Amino acid sequence: MQAVIVNFRRGRHTQTCNQMVIKPAEVNDKDKAKELIGKTVTWKSPAGKQIKGKITKEHGNSGAVRALFERGMPGQSIGNSVKIE
């Protein structure tokens, strides 16, 4: 399943660099997003490296999810697609 990285998980004054908000393609509500918890997310950089993460929780009511990656994500990953397995 394909998804798009929307943004870092952030607050008013902080930004968590290894957690991202992801919007899956066919998911439009919170109940479908809960089914994705525990699945693996893979982002491939332009240099060919892969950074893997795991979906930890739903985010909001429109089907977005939070993903915890193994290390900090670069800013160029925002707006790019990821693969959910």
Measured distance CA(43)–CA(73) in Å, rounded: 9
Our count of domains for the chain comes to 1
Report which DSSP code applies to 76: G
DSSP string computed for 24-36 = ESS--SHHHHHTT
pLDDT tens per residue across span 13-71? 999 999 999 999 999 999 999 999 999 999 999 999 999 999 999 999 999 999 999 98
| pLDDT for 78 beyond 90 | yes
Measured distance CA(82)–CA(10) in Å, rounded: 20
User: Residues near 78 by Cβ (< 8 Å), separated by ≥ 6?
Assistant: 5, 6, 7, 8
Q: In which domain, by residue range, is 59 found?
A: 2-84
Contact between 61 and 33 (Cβ < 8 Å)? no
pTM score above 0.85: yes
Q: What is the CATH number of the domain that holds 66?
A: 2.40.10.190
